[in-house]
Amino acid sequence: MEPAETPSIWTAPEPAEAPPVYEPPSPVREDRGLLKRIGGGLAALGALLAKFKGVLLLLPKIKLLATFGTMFVSIAAYALLWGWRFGVGLVLLILIHELGHSLQLRREGIKSGLPIFIPFLGAYIGMKEMPKDAAAEARVGLAGPVLGSLGALVPLALYAATGNDLFRALAFLGFFINLFNLVPVLPLDGGRAMAAFSPWIWVVGLAAFVALAVFFPSPIILIILLLGGFEAYRRFKARKTPEMKEYHRVSAGARLAIGVVYIGLAIALGVGIHYTHLPRTL
Protein backbone atom coordinates (compact mmCIF):
# COMPACT_ATOMS: atom_id res chain seq x y z
CA MET A 1 0.00 0.00 0.00
CA GLU A 2 1.41 3.25 -1.12
CA PRO A 3 1.45 6.13 1.37
CA ALA A 4 -0.95 9.02 0.68
CA GLU A 5 0.55 12.17 -0.63
CA THR A 6 0.80 14.90 1.93
CA PRO A 7 -0.39 18.28 0.58
CA SER A 8 2.30 20.84 0.59
CA ILE A 9 1.73 24.02 2.55
CA TRP A 10 4.04 26.00 0.28
CA THR A 11 3.43 26.81 -3.38
CA ALA A 12 5.81 28.45 -5.70
CA PRO A 13 4.90 32.06 -6.48
CA GLU A 14 3.65 32.74 -9.98
CA PRO A 15 5.99 34.78 -12.12
CA ALA A 16 5.14 38.50 -12.02
CA GLU A 17 3.79 40.01 -15.23
CA ALA A 18 6.02 42.45 -17.00
CA PRO A 19 4.86 46.10 -16.68
CA PRO A 20 3.29 47.48 -19.88
CA VAL A 21 5.60 49.38 -22.08
CA TYR A 22 4.33 52.91 -22.82
CA GLU A 23 4.56 53.80 -26.46
CA PRO A 24 4.21 57.50 -27.32
CA PRO A 25 1.61 58.23 -29.98
CA SER A 26 2.96 58.37 -33.46
CA PRO A 27 3.46 61.89 -34.79
CA VAL A 28 2.30 60.63 -38.16
CA ARG A 29 -1.04 59.57 -36.72
CA GLU A 30 -1.46 62.95 -35.01
CA ASP A 31 -0.80 64.76 -38.25
CA ARG A 32 -3.31 62.60 -40.06
CA GLY A 33 -6.00 63.32 -37.44
CA LEU A 34 -5.35 67.04 -37.67
CA LEU A 35 -5.56 66.94 -41.44
CA LYS A 36 -8.80 65.02 -41.22
CA ARG A 37 -10.26 67.61 -38.84
CA ILE A 38 -9.15 70.48 -41.07
CA GLY A 39 -10.54 68.70 -44.12
CA GLY A 40 -13.81 68.06 -42.34
CA GLY A 41 -14.09 71.72 -41.34
CA LEU A 42 -13.40 72.85 -44.89
CA ALA A 43 -15.98 70.41 -46.20
CA ALA A 44 -18.60 71.72 -43.74
CA LEU A 45 -17.77 75.32 -44.69
CA GLY A 46 -18.08 74.42 -48.36
CA ALA A 47 -21.46 72.81 -47.77
CA LEU A 48 -22.63 75.92 -45.88
CA LEU A 49 -21.50 78.21 -48.68
CA ALA A 50 -23.18 75.97 -51.23
CA LYS A 51 -26.43 76.18 -49.30
CA PHE A 52 -26.09 79.96 -48.99
CA LYS A 53 -25.49 80.21 -52.72
CA GLY A 54 -28.59 78.13 -53.25
CA VAL A 55 -30.57 80.56 -51.12
CA LEU A 56 -29.28 83.48 -53.19
CA LEU A 57 -30.28 81.73 -56.39
CA LEU A 58 -33.73 81.07 -54.92
CA LEU A 59 -34.37 84.71 -53.96
CA PRO A 60 -36.18 85.60 -57.22
CA LYS A 61 -38.31 82.48 -56.80
CA ILE A 62 -39.03 83.44 -53.19
CA LYS A 63 -40.23 86.87 -54.34
CA LEU A 64 -42.39 85.18 -56.98
CA LEU A 65 -43.77 82.86 -54.32
CA ALA A 66 -44.59 85.89 -52.18
CA THR A 67 -46.64 87.35 -55.04
CA PHE A 68 -48.54 84.13 -55.68
CA GLY A 69 -48.90 83.47 -51.97
CA THR A 70 -50.50 86.85 -51.29
CA MET A 71 -52.70 86.33 -54.35
CA PHE A 72 -54.04 83.06 -52.95
CA VAL A 73 -54.57 84.64 -49.52
CA SER A 74 -56.55 87.48 -51.14
CA ILE A 75 -58.61 85.02 -53.19
CA ALA A 76 -59.42 83.07 -50.03
CA ALA A 77 -60.40 86.26 -48.18
CA TYR A 78 -62.73 87.43 -50.96
CA ALA A 79 -64.11 83.90 -51.41
CA LEU A 80 -65.28 83.85 -47.79
CA LEU A 81 -67.66 86.71 -48.59
CA TRP A 82 -68.55 86.34 -52.27
CA GLY A 83 -67.42 82.90 -53.42
CA TRP A 84 -64.23 81.61 -55.01
CA ARG A 85 -65.18 82.52 -58.62
CA PHE A 86 -65.70 86.15 -57.66
CA GLY A 87 -62.47 86.08 -55.62
CA VAL A 88 -60.44 84.77 -58.55
CA GLY A 89 -61.95 87.32 -60.94
CA LEU A 90 -61.33 90.24 -58.61
CA VAL A 91 -57.71 89.30 -57.91
CA LEU A 92 -57.04 88.91 -61.65
CA LEU A 93 -58.47 92.39 -62.29
CA ILE A 94 -56.18 93.82 -59.61
CA LEU A 95 -53.23 91.91 -61.08
CA ILE A 96 -53.84 93.41 -64.54
CA HIS A 97 -53.95 96.88 -62.97
CA GLU A 98 -50.61 96.30 -61.22
CA LEU A 99 -49.04 94.88 -64.37
CA GLY A 100 -49.78 98.20 -66.03
CA HIS A 101 -47.60 99.93 -63.44
CA SER A 102 -44.90 97.26 -63.74
CA LEU A 103 -44.68 97.52 -67.53
CA GLN A 104 -44.44 101.31 -67.45
CA LEU A 105 -41.82 101.20 -64.70
CA ARG A 106 -39.68 99.04 -66.95
CA ARG A 107 -40.20 101.43 -69.86
CA GLU A 108 -39.06 104.30 -67.65
CA GLY A 109 -36.02 102.33 -66.50
CA ILE A 110 -37.15 102.34 -62.86
CA LYS A 111 -36.29 99.35 -60.69
CA SER A 112 -39.24 97.89 -58.83
CA GLY A 113 -40.44 94.80 -57.02
CA LEU A 114 -43.18 92.32 -57.81
CA PRO A 115 -46.84 92.93 -56.91
CA ILE A 116 -47.79 92.18 -53.32
CA PHE A 117 -51.49 91.70 -52.58
CA ILE A 118 -53.25 92.87 -49.41
CA PRO A 119 -56.77 91.51 -48.84
CA PHE A 120 -59.47 94.20 -49.03
CA LEU A 121 -56.84 96.85 -49.80
CA GLY A 122 -55.73 95.77 -53.27
CA ALA A 123 -52.04 95.45 -54.11
CA TYR A 124 -48.91 97.52 -54.52
CA ILE A 125 -45.56 97.51 -56.30
CA GLY A 126 -42.62 98.98 -54.43
CA MET A 127 -40.36 101.30 -56.42
CA LYS A 128 -36.69 100.98 -55.57
CA GLU A 129 -36.00 104.47 -56.88
CA MET A 130 -37.97 107.59 -57.69
CA PRO A 131 -38.85 108.50 -61.29
CA LYS A 132 -36.60 111.03 -62.98
CA ASP A 133 -39.35 113.68 -63.05
CA ALA A 134 -43.03 114.27 -62.37
CA ALA A 135 -43.99 113.41 -65.97
CA ALA A 136 -42.50 109.92 -65.60
CA GLU A 137 -44.30 109.50 -62.27
CA ALA A 138 -47.58 110.52 -63.91
CA ARG A 139 -47.10 108.01 -66.74
CA VAL A 140 -46.42 105.24 -64.24
CA GLY A 141 -49.47 106.26 -62.22
CA LEU A 142 -51.82 106.31 -65.22
CA ALA A 143 -50.54 103.05 -66.70
CA GLY A 144 -52.28 101.03 -63.98
CA PRO A 145 -55.80 102.43 -64.55
CA VAL A 146 -55.36 102.33 -68.33
CA LEU A 147 -54.46 98.62 -68.47
CA GLY A 148 -56.83 97.86 -65.59
CA SER A 149 -59.72 99.44 -67.49
CA LEU A 150 -58.91 97.36 -70.56
CA GLY A 151 -58.86 94.30 -68.32
CA ALA A 152 -62.36 95.13 -67.03
CA LEU A 153 -63.61 94.87 -70.62
CA VAL A 154 -62.98 91.10 -70.47
CA PRO A 155 -65.72 90.30 -67.91
CA LEU A 156 -67.93 92.85 -69.70
CA ALA A 157 -67.54 90.85 -72.93
CA LEU A 158 -68.21 87.61 -71.05
CA TYR A 159 -71.38 89.13 -69.62
CA ALA A 160 -72.53 90.16 -73.09
CA ALA A 161 -71.90 86.61 -74.33
CA THR A 162 -73.39 84.68 -71.39
CA GLY A 163 -75.72 87.05 -69.55
CA ASN A 164 -74.15 85.89 -66.27
CA ASP A 165 -74.45 88.65 -63.65
CA LEU A 166 -71.20 87.47 -62.05
CA PHE A 167 -69.27 88.88 -65.02
CA ARG A 168 -71.33 92.05 -64.93
CA ALA A 169 -70.47 92.54 -61.26
CA LEU A 170 -66.78 91.94 -61.96
CA ALA A 171 -66.83 94.46 -64.81
CA PHE A 172 -68.50 97.02 -62.56
CA LEU A 173 -65.96 96.46 -59.82
CA GLY A 174 -63.08 96.68 -62.31
CA PHE A 175 -64.34 100.04 -63.57
CA PHE A 176 -64.94 101.26 -60.03
CA ILE A 177 -61.49 100.27 -58.72
CA ASN A 178 -59.72 102.07 -61.56
CA LEU A 179 -61.89 105.18 -61.22
CA PHE A 180 -61.33 105.23 -57.47
CA ASN A 181 -57.58 105.14 -58.08
CA LEU A 182 -57.86 108.29 -60.20
CA VAL A 183 -58.83 110.42 -57.19
CA PRO A 184 -56.06 113.08 -57.09
CA VAL A 185 -54.57 112.19 -53.74
CA LEU A 186 -51.37 110.38 -52.85
CA PRO A 187 -50.59 107.49 -52.78
CA LEU A 188 -53.33 106.74 -55.34
CA ASP A 189 -52.59 106.77 -59.05
CA GLY A 190 -54.49 110.01 -59.58
CA GLY A 191 -52.25 111.73 -57.05
CA ARG A 192 -49.18 110.56 -58.95
CA ALA A 193 -50.70 111.76 -62.21
CA MET A 194 -51.36 115.20 -60.71
CA ALA A 195 -47.68 115.47 -59.78
CA ALA A 196 -47.21 116.67 -63.34
CA PHE A 197 -49.51 119.65 -62.72
CA SER A 198 -49.46 121.25 -59.28
CA PRO A 199 -49.14 120.13 -55.64
CA TRP A 200 -52.21 122.23 -54.89
CA ILE A 201 -54.40 119.61 -56.56
CA TRP A 202 -53.44 117.19 -53.77
CA VAL A 203 -55.12 119.57 -51.34
CA VAL A 204 -58.34 119.26 -53.35
CA GLY A 205 -58.04 115.47 -53.29
CA LEU A 206 -57.48 115.43 -49.53
CA ALA A 207 -60.53 117.64 -49.02
CA ALA A 208 -62.59 115.18 -51.07
CA PHE A 209 -61.36 112.28 -48.95
CA VAL A 210 -62.16 114.15 -45.75
CA ALA A 211 -65.75 114.52 -47.02
CA LEU A 212 -65.85 110.81 -47.88
CA ALA A 213 -64.55 109.91 -44.42
CA VAL A 214 -67.31 111.98 -42.81
CA PHE A 215 -70.25 110.76 -44.91
CA PHE A 216 -68.99 107.27 -45.80
CA PRO A 217 -66.59 106.22 -43.01
CA SER A 218 -64.41 103.31 -44.06
CA PRO A 219 -61.06 101.91 -42.86
CA ILE A 220 -59.73 102.06 -46.42
CA ILE A 221 -60.62 105.75 -46.77
CA LEU A 222 -59.03 106.55 -43.41
CA ILE A 223 -55.82 104.70 -44.33
CA ILE A 224 -55.55 106.53 -47.66
CA LEU A 225 -56.33 109.82 -45.94
CA LEU A 226 -53.54 109.33 -43.39
CA LEU A 227 -50.96 108.13 -45.92
CA GLY A 228 -51.93 110.79 -48.44
CA GLY A 229 -51.87 113.52 -45.82
CA PHE A 230 -48.33 112.71 -44.69
CA GLU A 231 -46.99 112.32 -48.23
CA ALA A 232 -48.71 115.47 -49.51
CA TYR A 233 -47.40 117.46 -46.54
CA ARG A 234 -43.86 116.20 -47.11
CA ARG A 235 -43.90 117.05 -50.81
CA PHE A 236 -45.78 120.31 -50.39
CA LYS A 237 -43.27 121.47 -47.78
CA ALA A 238 -40.34 120.72 -50.10
CA ARG A 239 -41.95 122.10 -53.26
CA LYS A 240 -39.75 125.23 -53.33
CA THR A 241 -36.43 123.41 -53.06
CA PRO A 242 -34.29 123.39 -56.25
CA GLU A 243 -34.58 119.60 -56.50
CA MET A 244 -38.38 119.60 -56.34
CA LYS A 245 -38.65 122.54 -58.72
CA GLU A 246 -36.57 120.62 -61.23
CA TYR A 247 -38.59 117.45 -60.57
CA HIS A 248 -41.88 119.22 -61.31
CA ARG A 249 -40.56 120.92 -64.45
CA VAL A 250 -42.84 119.34 -67.08
CA SER A 251 -43.32 120.48 -70.66
CA ALA A 252 -46.67 121.83 -71.82
CA GLY A 253 -47.05 118.98 -74.30
CA ALA A 254 -46.54 116.36 -71.61
CA ARG A 255 -49.06 118.05 -69.32
CA LEU A 256 -51.61 118.20 -72.13
CA ALA A 257 -51.19 114.50 -72.92
CA ILE A 258 -51.46 113.52 -69.23
CA GLY A 259 -54.53 115.70 -68.75
CA VAL A 260 -56.29 114.26 -71.82
CA VAL A 261 -55.63 110.67 -70.71
CA TYR A 262 -56.69 111.43 -67.14
CA ILE A 263 -59.97 113.18 -68.00
CA GLY A 264 -60.84 110.83 -70.87
CA LEU A 265 -60.22 107.76 -68.74
CA ALA A 266 -62.29 109.14 -65.85
CA ILE A 267 -65.24 109.81 -68.19
CA ALA A 268 -65.01 106.37 -69.81
CA LEU A 269 -64.88 104.65 -66.41
CA GLY A 270 -67.88 106.64 -65.22
CA VAL A 271 -69.87 105.47 -68.25
CA GLY A 272 -68.76 101.89 -67.63
CA ILE A 273 -69.89 102.05 -64.01
CA HIS A 274 -73.26 103.44 -65.04
CA TYR A 275 -74.04 100.64 -67.51
CA THR A 276 -72.72 97.75 -65.40
CA HIS A 277 -74.31 98.76 -62.10
CA LEU A 278 -76.49 96.02 -60.65
CA PRO A 279 -79.51 97.26 -58.67
CA ARG A 280 -79.66 95.71 -55.22
CA THR A 281 -82.54 93.29 -54.84
CA LEU A 282 -84.01 92.03 -51.57
Please, what's the b/e burial string for 230-247 (b: 16 or more CB within 10 A of its CB; e: otherwise)? eebeebeeeeeeeebeeb
User: Tell me, what's the pLDDT at 186?
Assistant: 85
Specify the 3-state DSSP secondary structure of 100.
helix
Decide: 114 and 67 in contact? Cβ < 8 Å.
yes
Tell me the residue type at 156: L
User: Tell me, what's the pLDDT at 225?
Assistant: 84
Cα(27)–Cα(35) distance, integer angstroms? 12
Block means of pLDDT (10 residues each) for the chain, 282 residues, are 47 52 45 48 51 46 75 91 92 95 93 87 85 92 96 96 94 95 90 86 84 81 84 81 87 92 95 87 53
What's the pTM?
Answer: 0.74
Domain boundary assignment for the chain: 84-276
Decide: 149 and 139 in contact? Cβ < 8 Å.
no
Cα(183)–Cα(226) distance, integer angstroms? 15
Specify the 3-state DSSP secondary structure of 122.
strand
